[in-house]
Amino acid sequence: MTNAGHRITDAHECSQLNEMKIDMTGLNMLSGWTTNGDTIMIEQMPIFGGYTGGLEETAISDVATTLGSFALFSGNFHLDGPIHIRWNVTTSKETLQVAAHAAAAVDANTDLLLANQYYPAAGPCTEMCLLETANQAITDTGSGRELLSGSAAAKGVVKDKTTGMEARVMGEAARTAAGMKVSDLNETIGQILALYEKGFVSPPEGKTFQECYNVRTVKPTQEYLEVYDKALGVLRDCGLPIKH
Amino acid sequence: MTVSKALNVFDSFDRFVMGKKVREDTWDYVTIPTNAMNMKEKWSISFDDKIIPEDDDLSDRLFHAGLEMLAITGFYNTNLGRVLSVTEDEILEGIKGAPKKIRLGKGNERVSCKSRRGNSSRKPIIQGGPTGAPVSEDIFSPMMQSYARESVVDVLVSGVLNTVGGHPATTNTPWEIKATLAEIRYVREACSMVGRPGMGI
Protein backbone atom coordinates (compact mmCIF):
# COMPACT_ATOMS: atom_id res chain seq x y z
CA MET A 1 0.00 0.00 0.00
CA THR A 2 1.66 3.18 -1.26
CA ASN A 3 0.30 5.55 1.35
CA ALA A 4 0.48 3.37 4.45
CA GLY A 5 2.43 4.23 7.58
CA HIS A 6 4.62 7.26 8.11
CA ARG A 7 6.57 8.32 5.01
CA ILE A 8 9.74 10.39 4.68
CA THR A 9 7.57 13.29 3.47
CA ASP A 10 5.36 13.20 6.60
CA ALA A 11 6.23 15.35 9.60
CA HIS A 12 7.99 13.38 12.34
CA GLU A 13 7.37 15.34 15.52
CA CYS A 14 9.61 15.62 18.56
CA SER A 15 9.06 17.96 21.51
CA GLN A 16 11.60 20.00 23.41
CA LEU A 17 10.85 20.60 27.09
CA ASN A 18 10.32 23.92 28.88
CA GLU A 19 12.59 25.87 28.74
CA MET A 20 15.62 24.99 26.60
CA LYS A 21 15.57 21.33 27.65
CA ILE A 22 15.26 17.97 25.93
CA ASP A 23 15.22 14.35 27.13
CA MET A 24 16.77 11.13 25.85
CA THR A 25 13.47 9.93 24.38
CA GLY A 26 13.48 12.96 22.10
CA LEU A 27 17.14 12.56 21.16
CA ASN A 28 16.72 8.87 20.41
CA MET A 29 13.71 9.47 18.14
CA LEU A 30 15.61 12.25 16.37
CA SER A 31 18.61 10.00 15.78
CA GLY A 32 16.48 7.43 13.95
CA TRP A 33 14.66 10.01 11.85
CA THR A 34 17.90 11.83 10.98
CA THR A 35 19.54 8.61 9.85
CA ASN A 36 16.48 7.71 7.80
CA GLY A 37 16.27 11.13 6.13
CA ASP A 38 12.77 11.76 7.47
CA THR A 39 11.13 15.19 7.62
CA ILE A 40 11.56 16.42 11.20
CA MET A 41 9.33 18.93 12.97
CA ILE A 42 10.56 19.98 16.42
CA GLU A 43 8.00 21.48 18.77
CA GLN A 44 8.36 23.80 21.73
CA MET A 45 5.70 25.87 23.50
CA PRO A 46 7.34 28.63 25.57
CA ILE A 47 5.31 29.51 28.66
CA PHE A 48 4.54 33.19 29.12
CA GLY A 49 4.63 33.76 32.87
CA GLY A 50 6.66 30.60 33.48
CA TYR A 51 10.41 30.16 34.07
CA THR A 52 11.33 33.02 31.75
CA GLY A 53 8.85 35.45 33.26
CA GLY A 54 7.80 38.42 31.13
CA LEU A 55 7.06 39.13 27.50
CA GLU A 56 10.49 40.00 26.22
CA GLU A 57 12.29 37.29 28.17
CA THR A 58 9.86 34.68 26.81
CA ALA A 59 10.42 35.94 23.26
CA ILE A 60 14.20 35.77 23.71
CA SER A 61 13.93 32.20 24.95
CA ASP A 62 11.56 31.44 22.05
CA VAL A 63 14.16 32.61 19.52
CA ALA A 64 16.85 30.56 21.30
CA THR A 65 14.79 27.36 21.29
CA THR A 66 13.82 27.91 17.65
CA LEU A 67 17.46 28.20 16.63
CA GLY A 68 18.29 25.16 18.77
CA SER A 69 15.84 22.98 16.82
CA PHE A 70 17.89 23.49 13.67
CA ALA A 71 21.42 23.99 14.99
CA LEU A 72 21.46 21.22 17.62
CA PHE A 73 18.82 18.67 16.71
CA SER A 74 18.70 18.49 12.89
CA GLY A 75 15.12 19.79 12.65
CA ASN A 76 13.64 20.71 9.26
CA PHE A 77 10.98 23.03 10.66
CA HIS A 78 10.15 24.40 14.09
CA LEU A 79 6.65 24.29 15.57
CA ASP A 80 6.22 27.11 18.07
CA GLY A 81 3.25 27.76 20.37
CA PRO A 82 3.77 30.36 23.09
CA ILE A 83 1.19 29.58 25.77
CA HIS A 84 -0.29 31.77 28.53
CA ILE A 85 0.31 30.37 32.01
CA ARG A 86 -3.01 31.67 33.35
CA TRP A 87 -5.36 31.05 30.41
CA ASN A 88 -3.60 28.08 28.76
CA VAL A 89 -4.17 29.57 25.31
CA THR A 90 -2.02 30.69 22.40
CA THR A 91 -4.49 33.41 21.38
CA SER A 92 -3.99 35.96 24.19
CA LYS A 93 -2.43 39.36 23.51
CA GLU A 94 0.81 38.40 25.23
CA THR A 95 1.28 35.04 23.53
CA LEU A 96 0.46 36.50 20.11
CA GLN A 97 3.06 39.20 20.77
CA VAL A 98 5.72 36.68 21.80
CA ALA A 99 5.01 34.49 18.76
CA ALA A 100 4.96 37.39 16.31
CA HIS A 101 8.11 39.04 17.63
CA ALA A 102 10.05 35.76 17.72
CA ALA A 103 8.91 34.83 14.20
CA ALA A 104 9.68 38.26 12.76
CA ALA A 105 13.14 38.23 14.36
CA VAL A 106 14.08 34.80 12.98
CA ASP A 107 12.40 35.48 9.62
CA ALA A 108 14.31 38.73 9.10
CA ASN A 109 17.67 37.08 9.71
CA THR A 110 17.34 33.55 8.30
CA ASP A 111 15.39 31.42 5.83
CA LEU A 112 14.34 28.92 8.51
CA LEU A 113 10.89 27.32 8.21
CA LEU A 114 8.65 28.43 11.08
CA ALA A 115 5.30 27.05 12.20
CA ASN A 116 2.88 27.86 15.01
CA GLN A 117 0.11 25.85 16.70
CA TYR A 118 -3.34 26.85 17.93
CA TYR A 119 -4.93 26.51 21.36
CA PRO A 120 -7.96 28.83 21.58
CA ALA A 121 -9.98 29.00 24.80
CA ALA A 122 -13.49 28.56 23.39
CA GLY A 123 -14.94 25.34 22.03
CA PRO A 124 -16.22 24.62 18.49
CA CYS A 125 -19.39 26.18 17.10
CA THR A 126 -18.81 29.44 18.97
CA GLU A 127 -17.99 32.84 17.51
CA MET A 128 -15.24 33.33 20.09
CA CYS A 129 -13.41 30.18 18.99
CA LEU A 130 -13.46 31.27 15.34
CA LEU A 131 -12.34 34.82 16.15
CA GLU A 132 -9.47 33.56 18.32
CA THR A 133 -8.33 31.18 15.61
CA ALA A 134 -8.56 33.76 12.85
CA ASN A 135 -6.70 36.33 14.92
CA GLN A 136 -3.77 34.02 15.48
CA ALA A 137 -3.76 33.09 11.78
CA ILE A 138 -3.53 36.78 10.86
CA THR A 139 -0.70 37.24 13.37
CA ASP A 140 1.26 34.20 12.21
CA THR A 141 0.86 35.05 8.54
CA GLY A 142 1.79 38.69 9.04
CA SER A 143 4.92 37.82 11.01
CA GLY A 144 6.27 35.57 8.26
CA ARG A 145 5.52 32.03 9.40
CA GLU A 146 5.50 29.26 6.81
CA LEU A 147 3.04 26.76 8.34
CA LEU A 148 -0.01 27.04 10.62
CA SER A 149 -1.04 23.96 12.61
CA GLY A 150 -4.45 23.68 14.20
CA SER A 151 -6.68 24.05 15.79
CA ALA A 152 -6.99 22.50 19.27
CA ALA A 153 -10.18 24.26 20.32
CA ALA A 154 -11.27 24.29 24.00
CA LYS A 155 -7.56 24.55 24.93
CA GLY A 156 -6.94 21.12 23.38
CA VAL A 157 -7.91 19.26 26.53
CA VAL A 158 -11.57 18.31 26.09
CA LYS A 159 -12.36 15.07 24.27
CA ASP A 160 -13.91 15.47 20.79
CA LYS A 161 -14.00 19.28 20.89
CA THR A 162 -12.19 19.92 17.62
CA THR A 163 -13.54 20.05 14.04
CA GLY A 164 -12.52 20.92 10.49
CA MET A 165 -14.42 24.22 10.61
CA GLU A 166 -11.78 25.76 12.87
CA ALA A 167 -9.08 24.80 10.36
CA ARG A 168 -11.21 26.38 7.63
CA VAL A 169 -11.24 29.77 9.35
CA MET A 170 -7.52 29.45 10.15
CA GLY A 171 -6.73 28.84 6.49
CA GLU A 172 -9.09 31.44 5.05
CA ALA A 173 -7.90 34.13 7.47
CA ALA A 174 -4.28 33.31 6.57
CA ARG A 175 -5.05 33.36 2.83
CA THR A 176 -6.69 36.79 3.21
CA ALA A 177 -3.99 38.28 5.45
CA ALA A 178 -1.09 37.16 3.23
CA GLY A 179 0.40 40.18 1.48
CA MET A 180 -1.54 42.81 3.47
CA LYS A 181 0.30 45.70 5.13
CA VAL A 182 1.51 44.77 8.62
CA SER A 183 0.30 48.07 10.08
CA ASP A 184 -3.21 47.32 8.78
CA LEU A 185 -3.04 43.80 10.19
CA ASN A 186 -2.05 45.18 13.59
CA GLU A 187 -5.16 47.37 13.59
CA THR A 188 -7.34 44.40 12.72
CA ILE A 189 -5.72 42.11 15.28
CA GLY A 190 -6.27 44.69 18.03
CA GLN A 191 -9.94 45.04 17.15
CA ILE A 192 -10.57 41.30 17.08
CA LEU A 193 -8.66 40.80 20.33
CA ALA A 194 -10.86 43.36 22.08
CA LEU A 195 -13.91 41.30 21.13
CA TYR A 196 -12.79 38.06 22.75
CA GLU A 197 -10.09 38.57 25.39
CA LYS A 198 -12.56 39.26 28.19
CA GLY A 199 -14.00 35.82 27.45
CA PHE A 200 -10.90 34.05 28.76
CA VAL A 201 -12.32 34.16 32.29
CA SER A 202 -15.21 31.91 31.33
CA PRO A 203 -14.95 30.85 27.67
CA PRO A 204 -17.96 29.25 25.95
CA GLU A 205 -17.56 25.47 26.05
CA GLY A 206 -18.92 24.93 22.57
CA LYS A 207 -20.00 21.59 21.15
CA THR A 208 -18.42 18.23 20.38
CA PHE A 209 -17.60 17.02 16.87
CA GLN A 210 -20.63 14.72 17.05
CA GLU A 211 -22.84 17.76 17.76
CA CYS A 212 -21.17 19.96 15.11
CA TYR A 213 -21.16 17.47 12.22
CA ASN A 214 -23.24 14.71 10.77
CA VAL A 215 -20.73 11.97 11.56
CA ARG A 216 -21.89 9.75 8.68
CA THR A 217 -21.74 12.38 5.91
CA VAL A 218 -18.99 14.46 7.61
CA LYS A 219 -20.88 17.69 6.89
CA PRO A 220 -21.11 20.55 9.39
CA THR A 221 -24.51 21.37 10.84
CA GLN A 222 -26.54 24.35 9.67
CA GLU A 223 -26.06 25.85 13.12
CA TYR A 224 -22.26 25.79 12.78
CA LEU A 225 -22.42 27.24 9.24
CA GLU A 226 -24.48 30.12 10.59
CA VAL A 227 -22.05 30.74 13.45
CA TYR A 228 -19.23 30.64 10.89
CA ASP A 229 -20.92 33.16 8.59
CA LYS A 230 -21.53 35.50 11.51
CA ALA A 231 -17.88 35.28 12.56
CA LEU A 232 -16.75 36.12 9.02
CA GLY A 233 -18.97 39.21 9.16
CA VAL A 234 -17.26 40.28 12.37
CA LEU A 235 -13.82 39.72 10.82
CA ARG A 236 -14.80 41.89 7.84
CA ASP A 237 -16.03 44.62 10.20
CA CYS A 238 -12.62 44.49 11.90
CA GLY A 239 -10.82 45.09 8.58
CA LEU A 240 -10.07 41.61 7.24
CA PRO A 241 -11.61 41.34 3.74
CA ILE A 242 -12.24 37.60 4.08
CA LYS A 243 -14.43 36.23 1.28
CA HIS A 244 -15.84 32.90 2.44
CA MET B 1 35.72 31.41 14.38
CA THR B 2 35.33 29.00 11.47
CA VAL B 3 33.79 25.72 12.57
CA SER B 4 34.65 22.29 11.19
CA LYS B 5 31.00 21.35 10.58
CA ALA B 6 27.47 21.94 11.76
CA LEU B 7 26.32 19.84 14.72
CA ASN B 8 23.86 17.02 14.24
CA VAL B 9 21.87 15.14 16.88
CA PHE B 10 24.74 12.68 17.47
CA ASP B 11 27.24 15.49 18.06
CA SER B 12 24.77 17.10 20.42
CA PHE B 13 24.43 13.90 22.43
CA ASP B 14 28.23 13.72 22.77
CA ARG B 15 28.27 17.33 23.94
CA PHE B 16 25.62 16.52 26.54
CA VAL B 17 27.68 13.60 27.84
CA MET B 18 30.74 15.83 28.18
CA GLY B 19 28.73 18.75 29.54
CA LYS B 20 28.63 20.32 32.96
CA LYS B 21 26.38 18.74 35.62
CA VAL B 22 23.64 21.12 36.76
CA ARG B 23 20.62 20.57 38.99
CA GLU B 24 17.38 20.86 37.03
CA ASP B 25 15.80 23.28 39.51
CA THR B 26 18.88 25.52 39.25
CA TRP B 27 18.46 25.50 35.47
CA ASP B 28 14.73 26.32 35.67
CA TYR B 29 14.76 28.92 38.43
CA VAL B 30 18.20 30.53 38.09
CA THR B 31 19.95 29.90 34.75
CA ILE B 32 17.01 30.51 32.39
CA PRO B 33 15.44 33.60 34.02
CA THR B 34 18.82 35.21 34.78
CA ASN B 35 20.18 34.79 31.26
CA ALA B 36 16.92 35.89 29.62
CA MET B 37 16.80 39.00 31.78
CA ASN B 38 20.45 39.80 31.02
CA MET B 39 19.85 39.44 27.27
CA LYS B 40 16.81 41.70 27.50
CA GLU B 41 18.92 44.40 29.12
CA LYS B 42 22.00 43.95 26.93
CA TRP B 43 20.06 44.12 23.66
CA SER B 44 17.49 46.72 24.88
CA ILE B 45 14.49 44.55 24.05
CA SER B 46 11.23 46.30 24.86
CA PHE B 47 7.87 45.69 23.15
CA ASP B 48 5.27 48.38 22.53
CA ASP B 49 1.56 47.64 22.01
CA LYS B 50 1.92 46.26 18.49
CA ILE B 51 1.30 42.54 18.13
CA ILE B 52 3.42 42.17 14.98
CA PRO B 53 6.59 44.26 15.27
CA GLU B 54 6.97 47.10 12.78
CA ASP B 55 10.46 48.07 14.00
CA ASP B 56 13.09 46.18 11.95
CA ASP B 57 15.86 47.14 14.34
CA LEU B 58 13.95 45.60 17.26
CA SER B 59 13.58 42.36 15.27
CA ASP B 60 17.32 42.29 14.56
CA ARG B 61 18.18 42.92 18.22
CA LEU B 62 15.76 40.21 19.34
CA PHE B 63 17.38 37.74 16.92
CA HIS B 64 20.83 38.50 18.33
CA ALA B 65 19.53 38.30 21.89
CA GLY B 66 18.11 34.83 21.19
CA LEU B 67 21.27 33.71 19.42
CA GLU B 68 23.43 34.85 22.33
CA MET B 69 20.95 33.32 24.81
CA LEU B 70 21.48 29.91 23.21
CA ALA B 71 25.26 30.36 23.05
CA ILE B 72 25.72 31.46 26.69
CA THR B 73 23.10 29.10 28.12
CA GLY B 74 23.38 25.93 26.05
CA PHE B 75 20.72 23.23 26.33
CA TYR B 76 19.78 20.93 29.21
CA ASN B 77 19.35 17.16 29.06
CA THR B 78 16.86 16.14 31.73
CA ASN B 79 17.96 12.48 31.86
CA LEU B 80 21.69 13.15 32.03
CA GLY B 81 21.39 16.30 34.14
CA ARG B 82 24.05 17.87 31.94
CA VAL B 83 24.34 20.98 29.78
CA LEU B 84 25.42 21.03 26.14
CA SER B 85 27.69 23.92 25.14
CA VAL B 86 27.57 25.48 21.69
CA THR B 87 29.16 28.57 20.13
CA GLU B 88 27.45 31.28 18.09
CA ASP B 89 29.47 30.22 15.04
CA GLU B 90 28.27 26.65 15.40
CA ILE B 91 24.65 27.84 15.69
CA LEU B 92 25.01 29.98 12.57
CA GLU B 93 26.62 27.10 10.68
CA GLY B 94 23.71 24.86 11.67
CA ILE B 95 21.19 27.43 10.48
CA LYS B 96 22.97 27.69 7.14
CA GLY B 97 22.48 23.99 6.55
CA ALA B 98 18.78 23.94 7.42
CA PRO B 99 16.35 23.53 4.50
CA LYS B 100 14.72 26.59 2.91
CA LYS B 101 12.10 24.36 1.39
CA ILE B 102 10.58 21.00 2.28
CA ARG B 103 8.05 18.83 0.48
CA LEU B 104 5.16 17.36 2.44
CA GLY B 105 2.94 14.57 1.13
CA LYS B 106 3.05 12.65 -2.13
CA GLY B 107 1.45 12.54 -5.56
CA ASN B 108 -1.30 15.04 -6.32
CA GLU B 109 -1.39 16.16 -2.68
CA ARG B 110 2.29 17.01 -2.40
CA VAL B 111 2.90 20.59 -1.24
CA SER B 112 6.03 22.67 -0.99
CA CYS B 113 6.70 24.56 2.23
CA LYS B 114 9.05 27.39 1.28
CA SER B 115 10.56 30.30 3.17
CA ARG B 116 8.10 33.25 2.89
CA ARG B 117 10.14 36.26 4.12
CA GLY B 118 7.91 38.85 5.80
CA ASN B 119 4.24 38.95 4.97
CA SER B 120 4.61 37.51 1.49
CA SER B 121 1.45 37.29 -0.61
CA ARG B 122 1.96 33.50 -0.66
CA LYS B 123 -0.18 32.00 2.10
CA PRO B 124 1.42 29.70 4.67
CA ILE B 125 0.91 25.93 4.46
CA ILE B 126 -2.24 24.98 6.40
CA GLN B 127 -1.84 21.91 8.59
CA GLY B 128 -5.34 21.03 9.78
CA GLY B 129 -6.18 18.73 12.65
CA PRO B 130 -6.86 18.46 16.37
CA THR B 131 -3.18 19.23 17.18
CA GLY B 132 -2.85 16.63 19.91
CA ALA B 133 -6.30 17.09 21.46
CA PRO B 134 -8.00 13.87 22.70
CA VAL B 135 -10.41 12.14 20.28
CA SER B 136 -12.74 9.15 20.76
CA GLU B 137 -11.86 6.01 18.86
CA ASP B 138 -15.25 5.67 17.17
CA ILE B 139 -15.13 9.09 15.50
CA PHE B 140 -11.40 9.39 14.83
CA SER B 141 -11.61 8.79 11.08
CA PRO B 142 -14.67 11.03 10.45
CA MET B 143 -13.11 13.80 12.51
CA MET B 144 -9.89 13.64 10.46
CA GLN B 145 -12.00 13.58 7.29
CA SER B 146 -13.56 16.88 8.38
CA TYR B 147 -10.10 18.47 8.05
CA ALA B 148 -8.96 16.58 4.96
CA ARG B 149 -12.03 17.63 2.97
CA GLU B 150 -11.36 21.35 3.55
CA SER B 151 -9.80 22.69 0.34
CA VAL B 152 -7.76 25.27 2.26
CA VAL B 153 -6.07 22.49 4.28
CA ASP B 154 -2.81 21.29 2.71
CA VAL B 155 -1.59 18.67 5.21
CA LEU B 156 -2.93 17.05 8.38
CA VAL B 157 -1.90 16.97 12.02
CA SER B 158 -3.32 14.18 14.15
CA GLY B 159 -5.27 14.16 17.38
CA VAL B 160 -4.61 11.71 20.20
CA LEU B 161 -6.65 8.52 20.40
CA ASN B 162 -8.31 8.37 23.78
CA THR B 163 -8.49 4.57 23.69
CA VAL B 164 -7.37 1.78 21.38
CA GLY B 165 -9.54 -1.32 21.20
CA GLY B 166 -11.27 0.07 24.27
CA HIS B 167 -8.04 0.24 26.32
CA PRO B 168 -6.88 3.64 27.61
CA ALA B 169 -3.84 4.77 25.58
CA THR B 170 -1.79 5.40 28.72
CA THR B 171 1.59 7.13 28.31
CA ASN B 172 4.67 4.91 28.44
CA THR B 173 2.77 1.63 28.02
CA PRO B 174 2.45 -0.74 25.03
CA TRP B 175 -1.08 0.64 24.52
CA GLU B 176 0.40 4.05 23.76
CA ILE B 177 2.48 2.56 20.91
CA LYS B 178 -0.52 0.63 19.57
CA ALA B 179 -2.63 3.79 19.72
CA THR B 180 0.01 5.83 17.89
CA LEU B 181 0.13 3.31 15.05
CA ALA B 182 -3.66 3.17 14.96
CA GLU B 183 -3.77 6.97 14.67
CA ILE B 184 -1.63 6.82 11.54
CA ARG B 185 -3.94 4.21 10.01
CA TYR B 186 -7.06 6.25 10.83
CA VAL B 187 -5.52 9.41 9.38
CA ARG B 188 -4.51 7.61 6.19
CA GLU B 189 -8.00 6.17 5.93
CA ALA B 190 -9.47 9.66 6.31
CA CYS B 191 -7.25 10.98 3.51
CA SER B 192 -8.33 8.14 1.22
CA MET B 193 -12.01 8.54 2.06
CA VAL B 194 -11.99 12.16 0.84
CA GLY B 195 -9.93 11.35 -2.27
CA ARG B 196 -6.65 12.86 -1.08
CA PRO B 197 -4.59 9.75 -0.29
CA GLY B 198 -1.20 11.41 -0.68
CA MET B 199 -1.76 14.19 1.88
CA GLY B 200 1.16 14.83 4.21
CA ILE B 201 0.43 13.92 7.80
Helix or strand run (H / E) with residue B62: helix B56-73
Alpha-carbon gap, residue B171 to B169, rounded angstroms: 7
Band of pLDDT at residue A3, cut at 50, 70 and 90: low
CA atoms lying within 13 Å on the CB side of residue A227: 20
Q: Provide the mean pLDDT of chain A.
A: 97
Put simply, whether A71 touches B (Cβ < 8 Å) is: yes
Decide: A123 and B87 in contact? Cβ < 8 Å: no
Residue among B51, B101, B122 minimizing CB distance to A97: B51
What's the count of helices (H) and strands (E) in chain A, helices before strands? 8, 10
Distance (Å) from the C-alpha of residue B174 to the closest C-alpha of chain A?
15
> What was the pLDDT predicted at B5?
87
CATH superfamily label, A11-237: Monomethylamine methyltransferase MtmB (3.20.20.460)
Q: ipTM, 2 decimals?
A: 0.97
Does A64 have pLDDT greater than 70?
A: yes
**In the beta sheet, which residues pair with residue B21?**
B82
> What was the pLDDT predicted at B1?
76
β-bridge pairing A83-84 and A213-214:
unpaired
A69-116: per-residue pLDDT in tens? 999 999 999 999 999 999 999 999 999 999 999 999 999 999 999 999
Q: Which of residues 176-215 of A touch B (CB under 8 A)?
A: 177-183, 185-186, 189-190, 193, 209-210, 213, 215
pTM of the model: 0.97
**pLDDT by residue for chain B (201 residues), tens digit each?**
788 889 999 999 999 999 999 999 999 999 999 999 999 999 999 999 999 999 999 999 999 999 999 999 999 999 999 999 999 999 999 999 999 999 999 999 999 999 999 999 999 999 999 999 999 999 999 999 999 999 999 999 999 999 999 999 999 999 999 999 999 999 999 999 999 999 999
Residue among A152, A168, A180 minimizing CB distance to B131: A152
- Asked if the Cβ–Cβ distance from B84 to A72 is below 8 Å, we say yes
* Residue in A closest to B15 by C-alpha: A72
Helix (H, G, I), strand (E, B) or coil at A84: strand
The 10 Å Cβ neighbour count of residue A113 is 26
The 10 Å Cβ neighbour count of residue A18 is 18
- Asked if the Cβ–Cβ distance from A67 to B100 is below 8 Å, we say no
Q: What percent of chain A has pLDDT over 70?
A: 98
Nearest to B18 by CA among B72, B73, B79, B83: B83
Does A184 have pLDDT greater than 80?
A: yes
> What was the pLDDT predicted at A244?
74
Question: How long, in residues, is chain B?
Answer: 201
- Asked if the Cβ–Cβ distance from B6 to A71 is below 8 Å, we say yes
SS (H, E, C) A9-73: CCEEEEECECCCEECHHHHHHHHHHHHHCCEEEEECCCEECCCCCCHHHHHHHHHHHHHHHHHCC
A149-166: per-residue pLDDT in tens? 999 999 999 999 999 999
- Asked if the Cβ–Cβ distance from A52 to B33 is below 8 Å, we say yes
> What was the pLDDT predicted at A1?
52
Band of pLDDT at residue A2, cut at 50, 70 and 90: low
Residues of A within 8 A of B28 (CB-CB) are 19, 51
Looking at per-residue pLDDT, the higher value among A243 and B68 belongs to B68
Q: Which residues contact A100 (CB under 8 A, 6 or more apart)?
A: A139, A140, A142, A143, B51, B52, B53
Q: Which residues contact B103 (CB under 8 A, 6 or more apart)?
A: A9, B110, B111, B112, B113
β-bridge pairing B82-84 and B75-77:
antiparallel
> What was the pLDDT predicted at A4?
63
